Amino acid sequence: MKIKFPRWFYQLASPRWFYEISGKLLPAFTIITVLLLTTGLVWGLVFAPEDYQQGNSFRIIYIHVPSAILAQSCYMLMAVAGGIGLIWKIKMAHVMAKCAAPIGASIAIIALATGAIWGKPTWGAWWVWDARLTSMLILFFLYIGVIALSSAFDNIASSDKASAILALVGLVNIPIIKYSVEWWNTLHQPATFTITEKPAMPPEMWIPLLIMVLGFYGFFTVILMSNARIETLRREKRADWVKEIIKNY
């Protein structure tokens, strides 16, 4: 049975179409992202009330939680894009996977660093070999492995294939990160946001957190599109439309 995809799916496979549409979307995404991050930071760091147990130290949640969520989402996107590239030989999928890896690694570092800073006053230690922390560290190393494989081959097709396979294998770590606090006894608190349960925090605390999560996703989208545009030009440098862009530039 042949799978039929919508028209936009095939358009995304076109480097030229992606370059043109992303150029039109970037300004709007950038403005929205700046507004979201500014609103979330000011609200969360200045106007949100103190936590009754942790005081002002809890405010690092407005950086830590969005970065931890995004680090996992970015990895899933990278793995899915790599899988699409492997199965359907779509060049833009490999471009997205390659460009997502360094962004995800950077976000994972932020999640680990802010978690350590938050852990010191909460647990009395910068680091413990907690299941959630350890699996997040493994996620960072998976990102590094994908980046290394992507740069290890002179042939683009070989590097795309190798990095995509590693990304797909590493997907097993995502449910471990998510459910580690339920499967094992851990110091880490349960998930801050769940679909089925009402947030434990009052609205004046979780609304700016939600805004920050959306802002982080917006930031990721802007950086990913910008890097993918550059990578597309690099890979398609011999195409007539790219030559025309370079000539006009």
| Res 1 pLDDT > 60 | no
Averaged pLDDT of the chain: 91
pLDDT at 214 over 70: yes
Structure tokens at 228: 């993918």
What is the pLDDT at residue 196?
A: 61
Is 54:205 a contact under the CB 8 Å cutoff? no
- Give residue-wise pLDDT tens across range 217-241: 999 999 999 999 999 999 999 888 8
Model pLDDT, residue 80: 97
User: DSSP secondary structure string, 127-148?
Assistant: ----HHHHHHHHHHHHHHHHHH
Average pLDDT estimate for 89-115: 96
Outline where 124-239 has alpha helix (H).
Answer: 131-152, 156-169, 173-183, 203-235
**pLDDT tens digits, 174-196:** 999 988 877 766 666 666 666 56
| pLDDT value of residue 8 | 67
Dump pLDDT digits (tens) for 133-169: 999 999 999 999 999 999 999 999 999 999 999 999 9
pTM score of the predicted model: 0.92
Res 25: pLDDT: 96
- Which whole number is the average pLDDT over 92-100? 97
**Is 201's pLDDT higher than 80?**
yes
